[in-house]
Amino acid sequence: MVIDKWLISKTKKKMKKIIYSLLFILPLFWVSCDKIEDDEKLVYLKGITTETTPITETNSIQRVLLEDYTGWKCVNCPRAAAKATELIGTYGEQLVVMAVHSTAFASPLASNNNVDFRTEYGEKWAVDFGCSSLPAGLINRTKVGGAYTIGDANWDTQIQSTISTKEHLMDINLGAVYKESYNKILVSTENVFLKDVSYSTQINVVVLESGIVGVQLNSNTDYGTTPKIEDYVFNHVLRKNGLIGYPLSDSAVSKGTTVSTNYLIDVDTDIQDISKCTVVVFVTNSSTGEVIQVNQIHLSE
């Protein structure tokens, strides 16, 4: 009896020892192994590249983005386009104009050779910002009087006001080149934050083509023949394959930070003349969508 008790207590002691030592070691059992599946080993980064091109566009001024929502069937749009051209003369470098062909006004017709300047993102913006009746303009995507859209009659005063009140928070320095071997446009950006920015930002890189000749419906002889202009020259036309809403900074950035990024944009097959293209880059506030800064660079050969 006594011997049995002694054996039992000895075994118990041994078990205790083993359990105690295992308890000590158990926390170390978070040893793990990551297993990456085949399709995740190399992740294709659409649009982003590590290649760079020299930065040539570095003028440090606060610019304004004027988006002209238009369409070839929009009879009053020639007036807005002419206004935009006039404003470029007034404001020069401070103004960047982007013609967003969108809505039913820009849909193609067989009689017009199915010419289609619409873009996926242009359509979405038209809906998001309430551009249903054209021409409609957006200035830095900022609301004025409760709405984003501004009539072309008020563009001048609005741009004036924006220029005088808008804080110069950052600069977008650019370099862009057409890479013939890839048939892509390489854009290098250098985003310099001149002040502390407390929100996250996104960057948008698009290609505009100017000098495209086509048909535009018109109702005012001041701007051309009616009811349509056969050889109308479309400028600043927003082209496809732009990079929209790419993350630039994901949290607050302090003054003096520079974020450098590089992008590759597939050349839109519809582009007629690459030498008449410019690259427009605009940085927005991730939550409000407001444009903080914009810049453009003509494509070098």
Partner 1 sequence: MKKIILIISFVAFSINSYSQGLFGGKVTGNFQMDVQASREDSVIGAEKVNEKMLMNAFTNILYTNGDFSAGMRFEAYLNPILGFDSQYKGAGLAYRFASYKKDFLEITAGNYYEQFGNGLIFRSYEEKNLGLDNAMDGLKVIARPMEGVAIKGIIGKQRYYWEDVWASDDFGLVRGIDGEVSLNSVIKSFSSSPLQVTLGGSFVSVYDKADTRFIIDQQTGNNYKLTTPENIGSGAARIQMSYNAWNLNAEYARKGQDPNAVNGYIFHEGEAAYVSAGYSAKGLGINVAAKRIDNMSYKSRRSETGNMLNINYLPALTRQHAYSLFAMYPYATQVNGEMGIQADIMYKLKKKTFLGGEYGTDLKLNYSRAMSIDKQLVATNPAGSYEGTNGYTSSFFKVGDDIYFEEINLEISKKISHDFKLNFMYSYQTFNPIAIGHEGEEFVYANVFAADVTQKMNKNSLRYELQLLLTEQNYGEWATGNWIQGTLEYNLGGRWFAAASDQWNYGNETGEKTHYYNFSIGYTKGTNRIQISYGKQREGIICIGGVCRMVPASNGLFATITSSF
| Residues of the shown chain interacting with partner 1 in the complex, contacts defined by CB under 8 A | 14, 17-18, 20-22, 24-25, 28-36, 40-45, 48-51, 179, 181-182, 184, 186, 264
- The closest alpha carbon to 172, from 204, 147, 200, 196, belongs to 204
What is the smallest separation between the CB atom of 130 and partner 1, expressed in angstroms? 36
User: With respect to partner 1, which residue has the nearer C-beta, 48 or 127?
Assistant: 48
Residue 247 corresponds to which tokens in the numbers above? Answer: 């993350």
What is the smallest separation between the CB atom of 157 and partner 1, expressed in angstroms? 44
Q: CA 165 to CA 104: how far, in whole Å?
A: 35
| DSSP H/E element including 246 | strand 243-249
User: With respect to partner 1, which residue has the nearer C-beta, 118 or 239?
Assistant: 239
- Single-letter amino acid code for the residue at 85: T
Length of the chain, please? 301
What is the smallest separation between the CB atom of 183 and partner 1, expressed in angstroms? 8
**Torsion angle (degrees, nearest 10) of CA 203, 198, 292, 158:** 150
Q: SS3 string of 126-152?
A: HHHCCCCCCCEEEECCCCECCECCECH
User: With respect to partner 1, which residue has the nearer C-beta, 207 or 292?
Assistant: 207
What is the smallest separation between the CB atom of 236 and partner 1, expressed in angstroms? 26
What is the smallest separation between the CB atom of 29 and partner 1, expressed in angstroms? 7
User: With respect to partner 1, which residue has the nearer C-beta, 49 or 56?
Assistant: 49
Place of tokens 């982003």: 48
User: With respect to partner 1, which residue has the nearer C-beta, 4 or 40?
Assistant: 40
